[in-house]
Amino acid sequence: MQLTNERIRERLNEKFGDVLSEWGDPYGMLTFTAQKDFNLKVLQFLFDDEELRFRFLTDLQAVHYPKRVGEELAVVYHLHNHIDNVRIRMKVYTPVEKPDVFSATALYAGANWMERETYDFYGVNFVGHPNLIRVLNVEEMDYFPMRKEFPLEDQTRVDKDDEMFGR
């Protein structure tokens, strides 16, 4: 039996119900949102279930949505079932004031560096991570450079002629 997005959604709804929301199917990839306190439970189920078998973490990253009050940071997991060649995306939102999300390193060893990079650039605190330190930026940095907290340009500069930049 072929594993379809409808079957995956059905299995997840049977197990978790209202914990999962924002279902979508962009470009054929099943996408959903999980409540942040359930991220590990959902990942564990997707990994262990003999029908679903999502045992490869393709990617893990964050996105900053400054206008989503209370849910400014999204941690995005891309999972792959190699046997049926199916990919899915799971999102977890967390507030920027307390960006705590449970670490997936116990389940996916590859999450180690991905979580460190996500911490380094977005400040997501992966609770339970074995060595959550900056991986590319210097330890002395007191900000997270990929957050949309700073203007792209210095608006006070007078040495730029807007006509030169097509404005």
Interval 62-86: pLDDT, tens: 999 999 999 999 999 999 999 999 9
| Predicted local distance difference test score (pLDDT) of residue 167 | 56
State percent of the chain over pLDDT 90. Answer: 84
pLDDT at 156: 73
Element (H, E) at 101: strand 100-102
Superfamily (CATH) of domain 5-162: NADH:ubiquinone oxidoreductase Nqo5 subunit (3.30.460.80)
For the chain, helix (H) and strand (E) counts, in that order, are 3, 7
Contacts of 40 by beta carbon, 8 Å cutoff, 6+ apart: 102, 104, 107
H/E segment holding residue 122: helix 111-122
What is the residue extent of each domain of the chain?
A: 5-162
Residue 165 has pLDDT above 70, yes or no: no
Residue 60 has pLDDT above 70, yes or no: yes
